[in-house]
Structure 1
Amino acid sequence: MNLTVFGIGYVGLVQAAVLAEVGHQVVCVDIDVKKVERLNQGLIPIFEPGLENLVKENHAAGRIKFTTDAAAAVKHGEIQMIAVGTPPGEDGSADLKYVLAVAEAIGRERDAPK
């Protein structure tokens, strides 16, 4: 299955790597150009036991890709997953502006259900 994961932090990267490991074609999207470049070079920005090998092996096998191109990533995925930050607001509640921005991007770029 073709999957898209928005956000390549602790949650998104681990989720994407595991999904690729079980055979899915995963495109990961992030707005951080340098992070995407480093991942495409095999440099993993976080430590999680076993993650580096999962990412490198699945990237080499073509099952996981990293990009900043949200439009292409949306078109790739039959399923879109949002794993972006929800920093606390001034009142302690979750700030959902990044989640909503990704949802709007998905809505703009999505042609029709696959």
Structure 2
Amino acid sequence: MSLKDKLKSDLTEAIRNRHEVKSSTIRMILTSITNEEVSGKEARTLSETEIITVLTREAKKRREAAEAFDQGGASERAQREREEGEIIATYLPAQLSDEELDTLIAEAISSTG
């Protein structure tokens, strides 16, 4: 199942379960994907990598918006932005922890001499 198909099925499930934040966030993601697909000279289907790029961009927007709302004193809006960011993060590939990254770097250094 492609990532876009998973988003669509999760949207249906979120609507059925009346999960407002999740359904609105997934709608926003799907809209961003569609906008990316139709931008440019001709419409095209995005690859999984391009969809992940869109998701990463949207997650970054949510983090920045949450910080801005915190600085402006709108803690409720900041919390909503964080919730949306967490939902988006569930569709992104897992990030390496610092320890895992250090281990990979050490292995690469030792193997190359």
Structure-2-length-normalised TM-score? 0.29
Q: Which has the larger radius of gyration?
A: 2
Larger relative contact order (Cα-Cα within 8 Å, sequence gap ≥ 6): 1
Structure-1-length-normalised TM-score? 0.29
